[in-house]
Amino acid sequence: MTLPRPPPAGNGNPPWHALPVGDALACHGVDANNGLTQEEAAARLERDGPNRLSVQPGRSALQRFLNQLTEPLVLVLIGSGVVTAGLGEWIDSSVIFGVVIVNAVIGFLQEGKAEAALAALARAVATEVTVLRDGRRRRMDAVHLVPGDVVWLSAGDKVPADLRLISGKQLRTVEAALTGEAAPTDKHFDPLPADTLLADRRNMAYAGTTVVAGQGQGLVIGTADATETGRISGLIAGAPEIATPLTKKMAEFAGLLLWVILGLAALTFVIGVWRGESMAAMMVAAVALAVGAIPEGLPAAMSITLAIGVSRMAKRRAIIRHLPAVESLGSTTVICSDKTGTLTENAMTVTEIWAGGEAFGVSGQGYKPEGELRLRGEIAVPPAPTLGDAVSGSAGDMALGTALRETLLAGALCNDAALYHEHRQWQITGDPTEAALLVVARKGGLDETTLHNVFPRRDELPFDSARQTMATLHAIEGRSMVYAKGAIEKLLPACRNMLAADGSEAPLDTAALEASAALMATRGLRVLALARRQLAAGDELTEAAISAGMVLVGLVGMIDPPRVRAVGAVRTCHAAGIRVKMITGDHAETARAIAGQIGIVKAGDAATVLTGRDLARLDDEALKAAARNVDVFARVEPEQKLRLVRALQAQGEVVAMTGDGVNDAPALKQADIGIAMGMGGTDVAKEAAAMVLTDDNFATIEAAVEEGRGIYDNLVKFITWTLPTNFGEGLVILAAIVAGVTLPITPLQILWINMTTAVLLGLPLAFEPAERGIMHRPPRPPGAPVLDAVLIERVVLVGILMLAGAFGMFLLAGERGQSMAEARTIAMNVFVAIEIVYLFNCRSLRLPVTAVAAFSNPWVWAGAGLQLVLQMAITYWAPLNNAFATAPIDLRAWGEISLIALVAMGIIELEKRWRGAAG
């Protein structure tokens, strides 16, 4: 049997939404009344595969572990261990390999970003579906769906595949996870222009979206990887792993350090051999220099510093899934934020009401029924849930209720949604627009449950996409009252009068109504009109009953409102030199209004908003200019979000991308740091992101940026502190070879210094609190090195001080006739003493020691104390003397060591002050 295979969109072939229903069915060779036969469906399943997204496996645990051993500096350590083993220095070799393994284990445990985004996408497809096969409806697992199947949809269903809708009644879906638009989408079945954007394809339903009202039939036109969700999964899989600013800079830093170390080691070997030393001895010296110059503790210190940052961020409601992302936020220059659920509540909320010729503002956000209705600064309706005359009075009293009360009543009665409190949260079922009407009614003191008991529904006309109106009929003491809600352009022509403020009927003021609706629309509000009509007892609710003779009771304007804390967060980001850009799938006017309210653009300005259709016309260079200059992008599709992020990155920007939907996932993965919403976000977004906000609040990003900047500062402090020791150790070895004297310090002693001080002295810097004014600095330039010229010069200065102190004391001990073990012990303690005092210098790289609160970081004092204890042990405890070739020294030597350390500290402070005065 030859199965029909419809031509793909493109290459002159129309996309599915542009085809009439009959043509779409013909392309698949299927009859809408009978569906596919079981035999044909089985053959197509064999051809196209199951309706399940492909999942690519991540790296194995072994691969991740071996990856820790391929860093350049680690390879030098491994080479040094091999050389020392070849020379018979088994203890030294064992210690070197021990350091390598410890670093690898730490890196292995801390790494491990799970590549589960595609698995989460697979879970987004419905598991059960009603399908038409052999002329009969049957329930089956959605994994068995094939192109050409006819499926049935009803309220509450998750769409199981991409569908070309072919018939139905009042079908509405919520597609926020795919398109970014919070409001439900009304569906129809007529063909659309070929260039219609994804979010506007009203004759399509897409896998993973949800049906909230009505019912319908759809032709399966794409399953598994061929769905829009599958296409997004391909974008995620194709997005490369982006190296964070920290990993990029540390890779450059390690590469430079590697060549310096190898150069010095080679120079040491050549000079020694030229002076007549044996090659074996010079190989030991070269290894000693390499081991001394390599900051062995840096990888572990970096991982632990970042891990401390992870813990700090978790307390501020930001969960880090990938360690280097901790620092990435501190480097961020641009935040690209989704609107729905990130900058906004992701809950339709009534914010304005026009009734009786008066405008009311509504406070409160989301589905929590707390807030007030205000008129010109005065409370118009008490927030307490009392029904007043609307329930306890007579039918006549009810008819004469205020226009505002009647507007709230109409919205609550002409409504199929439900609002309930569960698990400490207010939740809804049904249409979010209708739920917003229930919430505002409760803010006005009207409870829908009580209303339905007092005014029971007798009949209804469900919402119809053609008339764009819903109506319900209620019994009121022997009379019938119709309440209707719908689009103002549909409902207004059916009205003969309107309610005045006191509830009496007045002539319809069309101009005032249209002006109020237009004003609401400019603020990005979705406007609904509400009307009523009294019928005679026994009259039925018909289309004719609501097509004329209605009385307009009011207008409501609703929007997915901005989060209150997002306004301050955006302001702080701007003060920190970080641009915030909104990239959303919602409508342009809504995006512009929200951007103005939050402060992304100036409120009231005619800010430029580019839509997905605008972006599609831009080449790469024009897109770069648009990405740089425009701050609001609307009606944007997933690959366009991805393209915008890449355009910003191509200009050297460090990009953070926030989002919560399936449509955000590719851009989340492509960004330097992807930030997903933990409460309202999809699993897809969470798995593609490097960071998850547990409170779904954009303001948490501000706190995370502050933490990220502080963490980077602490890493630079650690590097500035640790490098002089390595530099000084290398200089001591080189100086000894040039001078033709015995090495003042052995490779094993060097490892002791590097590893103990890195843990006890270096790591406490990770606990340094953020310095004042950290959020008033501009972002670090993306191309800036880890250490600037000032800090490099300081590293050289401190390294020279260590060289002078340690080498000088070693030579002095020899002149006094002290043993080689004593001389080397003195030299080793000089290094540690200078490191201890330099640690306090490094608590601030710009300010003097006295400007830093002495006990703001008690870990510094604890680490210095423990380091002194260890130095006493290696100097005076026999087992350590034997293992490390050290020996006890006298008090005079300790006095000289202390004096050298204090002199070094004073010189460093003078250099700081000189820099400050020069700056």
* Domain boundary assignment for the chain: 16-55+119-224, 64-110+242-317+704-771+786-918, 320-344+564-696, 349-559
Q: Determine the Cα–Cα distance for residues 682 and 179; give it in Å rounded to an integer.
A: 13
The pLDDT value given to residue 11: 40
DSSP conformation class of 766: G
Mean pLDDT computed over 23-41: 90
pLDDT at 472: 94
Could you tell me which residues come within 8 angstroms of residue 710 by beta carbon, excluding any fewer than 6 positions away?
A: 309, 330, 768, 769, 770, 771, 774
The SS3 of residue 257 is helix
What pLDDT is recorded for position 677?
77
Span 676-705, mean pLDDT? Answer: 75
CB 130 within 8 Å of CB 152: yes
Which is the CATH superfamily of the domain at 349-559? Answer: Calcium-transporting ATPase, cytoplasmic domain N (3.40.1110.10)
Residue 904 pLDDT more than 50?
A: yes
Task: Quickly list DSSP for 802-844.
Answer: HHHHHHHHHHHHHHTT--HHHHHHHHHHHHHHHHHHHHHHTT-
Question: In the predicted model, is pLDDT for residue 413 greater than 90?
Answer: yes
The model's confidence at residue 84, banded by pLDDT at 50, 70 and 90, is low
What average pLDDT does range 343-351 have in this prediction?
86
Lateral strand order in the sheet of 691-693: 318-320, 691-693, 673-677, 655-659, 334-337, 579-583, 632-634, 609-611
Is residue 686's pLDDT more than 80? Answer: no
The pLDDT of residue 123 is above 60: no
Q: Is 644 helix (H, G, I), strand (E, B) or coil?
A: helix
Mean pLDDT over residues 410-433, rounded? 87
CA distances from 69 to 66, 107, 293, 295, 568 (A): 5, 10, 19, 15, 45
Q: Which pLDDT does position 859 carry in this prediction?
A: 93
**Which tokens belong to 271?**
């000079």
**pLDDT on residue 741:** 83
pLDDT value, residue 770:
82
Among residues 16, 10, 27, the alpha carbon closest in space to that of 193 is found at: 16
Query: What is the per-residue pLDDT for 233?
Result: 66
How far does the chain reach from its first CA to its final CA, in angstroms? 83
* pLDDT exceeds cutoff 90 at 62: no
Mean pLDDT of the region 312-317? 76
Residue 719's pLDDT is: 85
According to the model, what pLDDT value does residue 471 have? Answer: 94
Q: Which residues, other chains included, contact 242 with Cβ-Cβ below 8 Å and sequence gap of 6+?
A: 649, 670, 671, 672
pLDDT reported for residue 389: 43
Mean pLDDT, rounded, for 373-399: 45
Which pLDDT value is given to residue 8?
A: 47
Specify which of 191-205, 510-524, 811-825 reaches the highest per-range mean pLDDT.
811-825
CA 378 to chain centre: 40
- The predicted model scores a pTM of 0.65
CATH node for 16-55+119-224: 2.70.150.10
Residue among 414, 412, 406, 360 at smallest CA distance from 505: 406
pLDDT in tens, 762-791: 888 888 888 887 888 888 776 677 778 888
In sign, the C-alpha dihedral spanning 650, 651, 657, 662 is: negative
Angle between helices 588-598 and 510-522 (to 10 degrees): 70
For 568-585, how does the pLDDT look when each residue is reduced to its tens digit (9 = 90+)?
Answer: 888 888 888 899 999 887
Q: Residue 73 pLDDT more than 60?
A: no
Who's near 906: CB < 8 A, 6+ residues apart? none
pLDDT score at 901:
95
Which of 298-312, 497-511, 619-633, 684-698 shows the lowest per-residue confidence on average (mean pLDDT)? Answer: 298-312
- Band of the pLDDT at 115, cuts 50, 70, 90? very low
- pLDDT (0 to 100) of residue 2: 43
| Nearest Cα to Cα of residue 24 among 161, 178, 143, 165 | 165
Rounded distance between C-alpha atoms, residue 340 and residue 346, angstroms:
5
Averaged pLDDT for residues 479-497: 91
Three-state SS sequence of 107-150: HHHHCCCCCCHHHHHHHCCCCEEEEEECCEEEEEEHHHCCCCCE
Q: Reply yes or no on whether the pLDDT at 244 is more than 60.
A: no
Tell me, what amino acid is at 640?
Q
Kindly state the average pLDDT of the residues 218-244.
Answer: 71
Report, as an integer, the average pLDDT of 124-130.
62
At how many degrees (to 10) do helices 891-918 and 820-841 cross? Answer: 30
Domain 320-344+564-696 is in which class?
alpha beta
CATH number of 64-110+242-317+704-771+786-918: 1.20.1110.10
Q: Which residues are catalytic?
A: 338
Span 144-187, pLDDT tens digits:
999 999 998 887 788 888 999 998 887 888 776 676 665 678 88
What pLDDT digit, counting tens, does each position of 702-732 carry? 778 888 888 888 888 988 898 888 788 878 8
Which two tokens mark 53?
A: 């997204």
Contact assessment for residue 552 and residue 497, using Cβ atoms and an 8 Å cutoff? yes
Band of the pLDDT at 324, cuts 50, 70, 90? low
* Per-residue confidence (pLDDT) for residue 395, from 0 to 100: 32
- 199 secondary structure, DSSP code: G
In the predicted model, is pLDDT for residue 743 greater than 90? no
Q: pLDDT digits over 186-213, tens only?
A: 888 889 998 888 878 889 998 878 787 7
- Mean residue pLDDT across the chain: 81
Beta bridge partners of 506: 498
**By mean pLDDT, which of 535-539, 644-648, 854-858 is the weakest?**
535-539
Percent of the chain scoring above 70 in pLDDT: 79
Nearest one of 711, 656, 595, 686 to 308, comparing CA atoms: 711
Q: Which of the residue ranges 231-240, 461-470, 590-599, 819-828 would you say has the lowest mean pLDDT?
A: 231-240
Q: How far apart are CA 166 and CA 216, in angstroms?
A: 8
Most confident of 45-49, 305-309, 463-467, 679-683: 45-49
Q: What are phi and psi of 30, to 5 degrees?
A: -135, 145
- Residue 862 CA neighbour count, 13 Å, CB half: 9
> Rounded to whole angstroms, how far apart are CA atoms 133 and 30?
10
Distance between alpha carbon 505 and the CA centroid of its chain, in Å? 52
Question: In what helix (H) or strand (E) does residue 44 lie, and over which residues does it extend?
Answer: helix 38-48
